[in-house]
Amino acid sequence: MHDRSRLPALPNRYPNYDVLAKRNGPSWNAKTREVIAGRLAVTAMPLFFSASEFQLVETIAARIVPQPPTRPPVPVAALVDRKLHADVADGYRPGGMPRQREAWRRGLRALEAEALAAFHRPLAELSEATQDELLRHAASGELKAADWGNMRCDDFFKHRLLHDVVLAYYAHPTAWDEIGWGGPASPRGYVRLDFNDRDPWEAAEAEPGREQDAARINRHVR
């Protein structure tokens, strides 16, 4: 778990890049536009989680993928909520793991029980350092509250918490801007396939001392 507020500011590796500039160009097809519009329209109104569960997911997501205060946040908890509301499954699950909806409800209930038992406060009211401590115990398989049932806490952390939260974050165009990704390469695709080659419709990564060059290029990427 990380705290970006206590770290030096992260450099903008793709200055002036805005993946949404591709929205009406040849890089994206109609299906991509439809899917991205749906993600951008997601609001912080839970459809699957209860209000208390949703707050807990927001708290945990903030520890797994902390976001800078300099831009609107990716609505990670809401994206996870929509996945569960639509019951969009992965097509597989490890042995001992219940179906994703039950896994999330049971896992959140168990984490809250662990917080109350160990610290006498709900998880969302704990300090960030204590929240991280509890999540590390989950990741290492050390939590044993009865609420877990036959689901291992480390399996829940790895296969649901980490998996779903990180996928939700990197499914959003705001995260794509951070990593210079252009979204699904359909219908345009890629032409320059050699190492370190960049197509004109791909973002340029800033080299130290040449940030203005990348910014100038990215201003025109479509």
pLDDT tens digits along 35-86: 999 999 999 999 999 999 999 999 999 999 999 998 999 999 999 999 999 9
The verdict on pTM exceeding 0.75 is yes
How large is the average pLDDT for residues 158-173?
98
Instruction: Return the minimum-mean-pLDDT range out of 3-12, 70-79, 189-198.
Output: 3-12
- For the ranges 53-67, 131-145, 190-204, the lowest mean pLDDT is seen at 190-204
The domain segmentation of the chain, as residue ranges, is: 24-180
Strand partners, 186: 28
CB-CB neighbours of 175 under 10 Å:
18
Give the pLDDT mean for 17-38: 94
